[in-house]
Amino acid sequence: MGTLTVKRSVAVHVIVTDEFKEELKAELRQASETTQQRIDQLEFQSRRFLADLQRSDMTQAMNARRQIEAEKRRQDGVKRDIEEQLAEADKLEIGSEYPRGVLEGVVEITEGDNLLQKLADSRIVIKDGVVIEIREV
């Protein structure tokens, strides 16, 4: 009988604890600071670049300014999203489940298996870094 190993997604959920909330908020604050540094650096470097470019080619400078402004808006959006996530992290209830990410897992498929069941959603639930439950949803 033939078997085949296939990949599937496995959701990782965390049971919210005080320690997890603090780690998550610290991670989000760091991401916000890093994004702000990117925005500041983009503004600083673009001023000099655009000033030099305007002396040689105004059309190219205008195009570059549009691209830079689009990137700045994108980075501002990223920062706003992070700030929203930070506000949501404050509201997390201790003991609730929080979706933390997705891993890639493998499953063995053999002839006669129900493919839908084998590839169905699965979830790993952790608390303070320790797996407390594996769910086949």
Other Cβ atoms within 10 Å of 27 Cβ, number? 14
Query: Structural domain boundaries of the chain?
Result: 1-16+94-137, 18-92
Q: What is the residue-level pLDDT of the chain in tens, covering all 137 positions?
A: 688 999 999 999 999 999 999 999 999 999 999 999 999 999 998 988 888 888 888 888 888 989 999 999 999 999 999 999 999 999 999 999 999 999 998 889 999 888 888 888 899 999 999 999 999 87
Sheet hosting strand 130-136, strand order edge to edge: 97-110, 3-15, 122-127, 130-136
